[in-house]
Chain A
Amino acid sequence: MIFTHFKRITRTGFINFWRNGFLSFSAIVVITLSLSVFGALIFGSAFGRALLKEVKNKVDINVYFVLDSQESDILSLKKTIEKLPEVSKVEYVSRDQALIDFKEKWKDNTLILQGLDEIGTNPFPAILNIKAKEPSQYAGIANFLDSKNSFSKDGNNIVEKVNYNQNKLIIDRLSRIIPAVEKAGSILAIILIIVAVIITFNTIRLIIFTAKDEISVMKLVGASNAYIRGPFVVSGIMYGIFSGIITLVLLGVFAYYSDVLIVKFAGVQSANDFEILVNVFSSYFFENFGQIFGIIMGSGIVLAAISSYLAVRKYLKV
């Protein structure tokens, strides 16, 4: 009995879905739009996170050493710094390496290279590039470097300068802006989700409104509420499935072309500067496909099914 009921409800739901083709189509369009909002939010936050990560990566403090400092002294200082809990990475650039890097960077500019040749000796100091885990932690690291007796064994100060103070302004701003951006992003996301849910619900309500008389006839024939409601919920689930599939295809296409466009508009140079942004959408989309699939399909189906369930209720009170 329960099985026959289930079979009949499912069949009727399918038939209604196909016969009310235009209504189903408009429901799918609206739900697809709502789901695209969800998709846009997913991509937006992925993009935002990638961007923030990249900007955070760009920020570091550099310790310049006096030209005649010993490499062993620098390396032992590096070890001490690496032990600090706030530090995520310390990179050592030796004097020779700094020279090679410089030559590589200006290899097309003969004027600069000539100037370098004229100096004769290597003018570049050795550097430690220090990256903190959070932008707010740079102050602590800088303080540590100031208070630390960074002297070599024979008592000379090997640190020429620490450029924290030059970078302080941007570091401070970042540590204030990043939480604000994250907060604003989540508020915007919540508003958009509410709007999408309301629009979907109202569309399905309108569709079911057209079946108002049909529902009252079913009641008068003596059909139970569950039996009347079932096919509408089945149709709702189908709206959700179709909308979900369409949305996923749209998101895939968007991810592919937006990556192409980013490189095109930002230019190859800055695309390399922000190398993490190359293929940010498509790699995010394909790496997290399971999760995105779950969110889009799940919210589409649940949203449409619950909307249908609630919308029918109004007309069942005969």
Chain B
Amino acid sequence: MIYFDKVTKIYPDDSLALDQVSFGVEPNEFITIVGHSGAGKTTLLKMLIAEEYPTEGTVFFESANIHRLKKRDMNKLRRRIGMIFQDYRLIPNKTAYENIAFAMEAVGRSDSEISSDVPHVLELVDLGNKIWNFPHELSGGEKQRVAIARAIVTQPDIIIADEPTGNLDPINTYEIIKILQKINELGTTVLLTTHNKGVVDAVSGRVITMEKGKITRDDKAGKYIL
């Protein structure tokens, strides 16, 4: 469903972030991308939501070239992708409920859908009792769970998680990974980056290893090797 074709990205300061990267993602895969900081993992994910544009090469989502989409189609594409970030990126002056409701409002869901789905999805990430808390009233693990709830509530085709456990302790990390696996089992493709060995070993899916902007390994059911 996603295909990177010889994608190269050189940032304006001449640093090479991606170097002729090619790989494909099949529906319902759980892919872990590992690599040191600066290996190009985040740039790779940013390409997918057109937050960055490739210097060379193309990125396809199904048959569409992501970077040639019109603004309106771009918004539609982004609605099919759920993003999860290391720094959560919740809207600070909205409650947990409103943060998730906002994502649904943006896609044009009806009020009745919102009022039934939001509590349900918060229940799913085990935050049923913190619906009306603002982000600053939540712990790191709780914020990340709200972010996951926001990402999945619109039932996207693919979840992109950029080091979602980077700021979390081992127990929270484990819980987040469990939630992501559950989402994957329910039929959503998951693309996860990490440099945490424990995460990779716990997931035991396809592992892509990146180094200095290049893919050095791509193993089905791989292990953490660096």
Contact = CB atoms under 8 A, between A and B. Distances in A.
A76 interface: no
A220 interface: yes
Contacts of B106: 218, 221-224, 227
Contacts of A217: 89-91
Contacts of B36: none
Q: What is the interface residue range for chain A against chain B?
A: 20 to 34
B136 to A, nearest CB: 12
Contacts of A213: 89
Interface in A190-249: 213-214, 216-225, 227
A217 B151 CA distance: 11
B182 interface: no
Interface string B64-91: 0000000110011111000100000111
Contact of B75 (A4, A214, A216, A223): A223
B126 interface: no
| Size bracket, chain B contacts | 20 to 34
A8 B105 contact: yes
Contacts, number: 53
A220 B83 contact: yes
B201 to A, nearest CB: 30
Contacts of A4: 108, 110-111
B78 to A, nearest CB: 4
A83 interface: no
A184 interface: no
A221 B51 contact: no
B93 A221 contact: no
A263 to B, nearest CB: 51
Instruction: Please give me the 7 A-B residue pairs with the lowest Cβ-Cβ distance, nearest first.
Output: A223-B106, A222-B79, A222-B78, A221-B103, A19-B93, A217-B89, A214-B91
B89 A318 contact: no
B107 interface: yes
B12 interface: no
A220 B106 CA distance: 10
A227 B105 CA distance: 9
A119 interface: no
Contact of B93 (A5, A20, A218, A225): A20
Given A220-B78, A221-B78, A221-B102, A16 B108 contact: no
B83 to A, nearest CB: 5
Contacts of B41: none
A221 B89 CA distance: 11
A220 B92 contact: no
A5 B51 CA distance: 26
A111 interface: no
Contacts of B79: 221-222
